[in-house]
């Protein structure tokens, strides 16, 4: 789209009817069971609806996998100042009770979205997500929620991805362009991008380009895309997903934080390679299938943990489309999508050597657990070998 100058595609739904389920009564029944399943799970029924996605800051920091100052440490000493708990309290205090969470669309029962207000109670930005708070926060040594919210606002106004931009500023800080922890300098750098100055044009091209221009070796990218808020040494399974997903370092493509840290859908040791290939593979298959349904990915917590909620999802999709769906059908759907994506990448020139993390993750130990990324290259090559 970019090469053809296409900025957006607008679909005008004027005059269109809302689609109806093929089998209305079974659909209603399945919907009831599905909603009950989401409400009873700890993550989708309590954590996300109370604090939003930033509930993860304290959790991942405690696990020692919170990438701090351009992935130098796994813990950020002052992370409590930017945690979901602090953010929700700030939002409710400034905007009134209930500001911390709401649905990003009318039908959502999880409701993890929110609104961030400035010190005077004026709207500043949509509630910054966990990854945004991390990217512009801990990753840059910044523990000021108002500054992070302003960076989020600027990113949105300029059309920048918050993870990519936060990672880019982290690399720029390591290059000495600004000091870690200097929130005003970070804001100024993002404004450079908005203005299109020579420095801004370098930063606006992302972390990989910024690292190359300033000669920085420690650049957290895969296939040119910046890593999100989980250090792959502290959560080895997410490193497998970062390395192998067709989209570059994308946590959502196979969110192995589940069994590694959250105890959702099983349990593996986050600091060891054992079990991580299979976990990432299964999650990538399931995610591709869920994404294709149009469901929000956050339902995955409940359907991974609760067989009855997974069954309710199958019934929901089946009664809507008029097809009978089984768990095997969902797996087959996920595999076929991943196969297409892989074929697309191969035709575009991607090789297995690109299914790797940057070398420093295999050499530099991450405190506090002093661990390197230990999954072997030959094992990474088996992720799509099902």
Contacting residues toward ligand SF4, per CB under 6 A: 103-105, 108, 110-113, 296, 298
Token reading at 374 = 């230990």
Residue closer to ligand SF4 (CB basis): 78 or 252? 252
Task: Give the H/E segment covering residue 116.
Answer: strand 115-117
CB 293, min distance to ligand SF4, A: 13
CB-nearer residue toward ligand SF4: 73 or 298: 298
In the complex, least distance from residue 221 CB atom to ligand SF4, rounded to whole angstroms: 25
Smallest distance, Å, CB 238 to ligand SF4?
19
- For helices 162-174 and 145-158, what crossing angle results, to 10°? 120
Positive or negative, the CA dihedral 220, 233, 250, 169 is negative
Rounded CA-CA distance 62/261 in Å is 10
CB of 294 to ligand SF4, least distance (A): 10
- Residue 108 or 354 with smaller CB distance to ligand SF4: 108
Q: How far is the CB of 301 from ligand SF4 (least distance, A)?
A: 10
- CB contact at 8 A, 113 and 97: no
CB of 16: closest distance to ligand SF4 in angstroms?
21
105 vs 100: CA distance, rounded Å: 15
Q: Which is nearer to ligand SF4, 110 or 316 (CB)?
A: 110
Q: Under 8 Å CB-to-CB from 356, ≥6 apart: which residues?
A: 222, 243, 377, 380
Alpha helices in the chain (DSSP H): 24-40, 42, 48-51, 56-62, 84-95, 130-136, 145-158, 162-174, 183-195, 198-203, 207-214, 236-244, 257, 276-293, 300-305, 307-321, 327-347, 377-380
Q: Nearest approach, Cβ of 335 to ligand SF4 (angstroms)?
A: 25
**Closer to ligand SF4 at the Cβ: 44 or 246?**
44
Place of tokens 């099983």: 266
End-to-end CA distance of the chain: 33
Dihedrals φ, ψ of 250, to 5°?
-115, 115
Closer CB to ligand SF4, 298 or 320, in the complex: 298
Smallest distance, Å, CB 129 to ligand SF4?
9
| Closer residue to ligand SF4, CB minimum distance, 61 or 101 | 101
Nearer to ligand SF4, 110 or 189 (CB): 110
Residue of 237, 304, 294 lying closest to 44 (CA atoms):
304
């Amino acid at each position: 789209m970019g090469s053809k100058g296409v900025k957006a595609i607008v679909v005008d739904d004027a005059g269109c009817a809302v689609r109806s389920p093929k089998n209305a009564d079974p659909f209603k029944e399945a919907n009831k069971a599905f909603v009950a399943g989401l409400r009873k799970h700890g993550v989708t029924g309590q954590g996300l609806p109370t604090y939003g996605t930033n509930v993860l800051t304290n959790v991942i920091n405690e696990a020692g996998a919170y990438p701090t100052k351009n992935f130098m440490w796994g813990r950020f000493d002052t992370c409590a100042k930017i945690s979901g708990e602090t953010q929700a309290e700030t939002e409710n205090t400034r905007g009134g009770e209930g500001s911390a969470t709401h649905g990003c669309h009318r039908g959502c029962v999880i409701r993890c979205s929110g609104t961030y207000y400035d010190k005077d109670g004026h709207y500043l930005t949509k509630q910054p997500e966990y990854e945004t708070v991390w990217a512009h926060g801990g990753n840059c040594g910044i523990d000021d929620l108002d500054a992070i919210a302003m960076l989020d606002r600027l990113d949105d106004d300029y059309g920048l991805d918050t993870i990519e931009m936060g990672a880019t500023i982290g690399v720029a800080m390591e290059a000495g362009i600004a000091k870690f922890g200097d929130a005003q300098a970070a804001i100024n750098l993002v404004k450079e991008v908005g203005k299109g100055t020579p420095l801004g044009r370098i930063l606006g091209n992302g972390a990989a380009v910024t690292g190359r221009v300033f000669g920085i070796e420690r650049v957290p990218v895969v296939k040119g895309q910046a890593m999100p808020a989980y250090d792959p040494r502290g959560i080895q399974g997410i490193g497998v997903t970062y390395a192998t997903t067709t989209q570059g370092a994308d946590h959502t493509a196979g969110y192995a934080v589940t069994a590694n840290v959250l105890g959702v859908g099983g349990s593996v040791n986050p600091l060891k390679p054992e079990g991580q290939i299979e976990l990432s593979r299964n999650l990538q298959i399931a995610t591709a299938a869920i994404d294709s349904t149009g469901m929000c990915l956050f339902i995955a917590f409940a359907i991974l943990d609760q067989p009855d909620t997974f069954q309710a999802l199958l019934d929901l999709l089946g009664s809507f489309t008029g097809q009978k769906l089984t768990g095997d059908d969902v797996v087959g759907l996920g595999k076929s999508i991943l196969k297409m994506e892989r074929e697309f990448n191969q035709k575009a020139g991607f090789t297995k050597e690109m299914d790797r993390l940057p070398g420093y993750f295999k050499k530099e130990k991450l405190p506090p657990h002093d661990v390197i990324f230990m999954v072997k290259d030959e094992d990474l090559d088996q992720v799509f070998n099902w």
